[in-house]
Structure 1
């Protein structure tokens, strides 16, 4: 079964430059980004059958990924607005 990663640059291609810049210049953004990547990989490993995870744990991980994605998106929009 093919499981799709939710890479932030693919999710928000219009913010690719801001993602790169913020990862280098904003430690909090970089930490959130790393956590998002880690959670996304764990979800993909579980969904592809590589690592077992209880259904409840998987759902919590998906909620966390969504929360992180929302937070990162807000920060990306703010960064884009300040550079315009």
Structure 2
């Protein structure tokens, strides 16, 4: 099942400038942001290429990405 690419700055345009600042000034935020993007790329690769991975592994990756998205949003909107 192919899903739409998740780009946090496009999804939350009102927070894009704040995310840019936080990426430079907050190591924890930068790490979470980078991990989110890496997971997104890996998930998209698996879905695009029907790569051999267990459904539970993919589901765990998506749950982790969602948790990171929530964390990033909370930090950026604080």
Cα distance in 2 between the residues matched to 1:74 and 1:28: 13
Which ranges of 4 or more aligned residues in structure 1 deviate by more than 4 Å? none
SS of the equivalent of 1:53 reads coil
Q: Which residue of 1 aligns with 2:25?
A: 25
Mapped to 1, the partners of 2:53 and 2:13 lie a distance apart of 30
- TM-score, structure 2 normalization: 0.90
- Unpaired runs of 5+ residues, structure 2, are none
Q: Tell me how many residue pairs correspond in the alignment.
A: 78
RMSD after superposition = 1.6
The unaligned stretches of length 5 or more in structure 1 are 79-84
Structure 1 equivalent of residue 47 of structure 2: 47
